[in-house]
Amino acid sequence: MNEVNPAAVATSVAWGGFALAFIFGAVANKTNFCTMGAVSDVVNMGDWGRMRMWLLAIAVAILGSNSLQLAGVIDLSKSIYTGTNFIWLSYLVGGFAFGVGMTLGSGCGSKTLIRIGGGNLKSLVVVVFLGIAAYVTLKGLFGAFRVAVLDPASVALSTGQDLPSLLAKALGADKKAMLILASAVAAGSLLLFVFKDREFRGNFDGILGGVTVGLVVVGGWYVSGNLGYLAEDPNTLQEAFVATNSGRMESLSFVAPQAYTLELLMFWTDKSKIVTFGIASAIGVVAGSAAYALASGRFHWESFRDARDTARHMLGGVLMGFGGVTAMGCTVGQGITGFSTLALGSMLTFFSIVAGSALTMKWQYARMLREA
């Protein structure tokens, strides 16, 4: 029997994350996939096109991820989203802060990376501030506040916080049956809402963006949760998910990985630091977006208008870094990847992000009227 080489597995996981994120970056650039833009279109114009694209991505991710779960290919209970500790205040505060931040910063974590690939220097500044704030929230001053004030406001669940586990316990039913039921109802309801709109049914880019993003999230689960899974790491003799910063299976998320990317660059000579799935995926989004922008002739340099614009984007980056780590994910990390596990925390974070973004847009509009 051949011994598994964890270093080789780690390399495969990192390259898998890069490849999936490259596709994400290219397609998201082409289709203008933007979660902040989706909220903006609904709030400011009553246009649900991009919101339907986001919801389609969630539906595809739910169906694909839970199909892998049912087939025994992955185990979503080993992700960070389905744990028994329901930190409701962190989800609410972190999600709301992230929603405010992504509006001030002109896009969420993934859109910021996509814009960097297209030549947007404003987004490069946002990423730096997002990454620093995320690191400070993980291990620094903001982290002390998060751990001492927000995380203790929680509900301990005897089962995981995913809907199938909760339903199985409440109804005394088989968890596998509840997984099928919850996935079908959740994804079916989203698909019904998405495709009942005739205009969206004819929107090729909208469908392409939603389906591709959803499938990329499913692919991420497979890469980290199957290819990167070791039943027994030869170095520790314990179960391990190789090349993930959380030590668990992961899929796409774009806040904490940016903090770990900065950490890797700062401690490059530390041989314990490696390119993880999250770091590779953050780099892959930029590369994929840049490739599409250059090939299509859409690459162009863009910078700040004035000091006020600069300050707003810097603040947006800080709020996204703090909020994304506090809520354990962003519009992709919780809004699609986490949502695909049917975790209550992911759903609460999703609505908190949307609320924070929508209220900030209302405030910006009112302020614009006052200054007019």
pLDDT tens, 184-227? 999 999 999 999 999 999 999 999 999 999 999 999 999 999 99
Is pLDDT above 70 for 240?
yes
pLDDT at 2: 57
For residues 314-342, give the mean pLDDT.
98
Read off φ and ψ for residue 89, nearest 5 degrees: -70, -35
The structure tokens listed for 352 are 């908190």
Give 4's pLDDT tier (boundaries 50, 70, 90).
confident
Rg, C-alpha atoms of the chain: 20
Name 185's Cβ contacts closer than 8 Å, sequence gap at least 6: none
Continuous segment of H or E residues that includes residue 24: helix 6-31
Specify whether the CB–CB gap between 170 and 102 falls below 8 A.
Answer: no
Question: Is this model's pTM higher than 0.85 or not?
Answer: yes
Whole-number Å distance between alpha carbons of 102 and 106: 6
Binning pLDDT at 50, 70 and 90, where does residue 13 land?
very high
Beta-carbon contacts of 175 under 8 Å, excluding residues fewer than 6 positions away, are 164, 165, 168
User: Are the beta carbons of 20 and 332 closer than 8 angstroms?
Assistant: no
Q: Is the pLDDT of residue 275 over 50?
A: yes
Q: What would the two tokens of residue 156 be? A: 């301990």
- CA dihedral for 341, 342, 347, 348, sign (positive or negative): negative
Q: Is-contact 354 99, C-beta < 8 A? A: yes
CA 244 to chain CA centroid, Å, is 15
The amino acid at 137: T
For residue 34, the SS3 value is coil
Q: Where are the alpha helices (DSSP H) in the chain?
A: 6-31, 35-40, 49-70, 88-104, 109-117, 121-139, 141-145, 163-171, 175-195, 198-201, 204-222, 256-266, 277-296, 307-326, 344-371
Q: How do residues 89-125 score in pLDDT, each as one tens digit? A: 999 999 999 999 999 999 999 999 999 999 999 999 9
What pLDDT does 1 receive? Answer: 42
The CA–CA distances, whole Å, from 62 to 126, 165, 219, 245, 271 equal 30, 15, 12, 23, 37
Segment 329-333 shows an average pLDDT of 97
Q: Per-residue pLDDT averaged across 152-164, rounded?
A: 95
14 has pLDDT over 50: yes
For tokens 């994350």, the residue is: 17
Q: How far from each other are the two terminal CA atoms of the chain, in whole angstroms?
A: 74
Region 337-366: mean pLDDT is 97
Rounded to the nearest integer, the mean pLDDT of the chain is 96
Q: What is the pLDDT at residue 282?
A: 97
Mean pLDDT value across residues 60-83: 97
Question: Who has greater pLDDT, 236 or 245?
Answer: 245
For position 340, what pLDDT does the model report?
Answer: 98
Q: What distance in Å separates the CA atoms of residue 27 and residue 229, rounded to the nearest whole number?
A: 28
Taking the C-alpha atoms of residue 292 and residue 117, their distance in angstroms, rounded to an integer, is 9
